[in-house]
Structure 1
Amino acid sequence: MNKRSMILLMALFLLLGCQKETEGPTEGVLIRIENTSRYTFQDIKVSITEEKLYGTLSPRESSNYQAYSKAYRYAYIELKIRNKLYVLQPIDYFGEEELKEGKYTYQLDVEDTSSQSRRLDLTFKKD
């Protein structure tokens, strides 16, 4: 094998070895959480048809995707900021269409942690 072929072969192996592995599921209705606030979210829990735990997210950080059998543009979400519970509580999903297979992001924000309402703001995004 000549020197040029050997260099090309080594470059190919390096390129393939450096590809980012896919984290989490790759099929179905996939939802991740993005923390768009300036606060660290802890103990993140999302309940739609099943309950999924997302752990802790620092400001401007996104989680891995998690698969759901059925999902909507919003969900029951709870999390903690400085050990205080914040909840997004849907009333129902009447009139909502189920999401089709694909990747989606629930972007979560909290305006002010000094408020007694402890309200989460959700922005839905199709990825």
Structure 2
Amino acid sequence: MWDAMTASEYQQLVEFLGRRFETIDRRFDAIDGQFAVFGRRFDGLDQRFDAFEQRVEARFQEVFGHFDELYRRLERLEQEYYAVTQALRRIEALLADEVGRREILERGLEELKRQVASLQARINAVEERLRQ
């Protein structure tokens, strides 16, 4: 089936395989160079993404700071609103008391006016009798 290989055939096979392996080595070298290029590009992209991520993180921190300030102000406004509404309720209660007191005073004043009018009428009557 297989015959023995002669030295010349063996030499030709070695030269043929040597050329083929050299071609394959060159291809691997070229591919290795491409991998190196891609590796550098990926390293560059990785650096760009890291820088971008840092910028985005810084912006988020800035935005979070603004939100914290807004929440602080909103909390203060809520406290002030609560204080104002409580003060308004106290004022309304005082006004209701004052209205009641004023009504009592007005009734008392009307009674005093009637009594003064009655006294004036009596004084006028006494003066009239004294003149006669």
Q: Under a length normalisation based on structure 1, what TM-score does the superposition of the two structures give?
A: 0.25
Question: Which structure is larger by alpha-carbon Rg, 1 or 2?
Answer: 2
Kindly indicate whether structure 1 or structure 2 has the higher relative contact order, using CA contacts under 8 Å at least 6 residues apart. Answer: 1
- Structure in which a larger fraction of residues adopt strand: 1
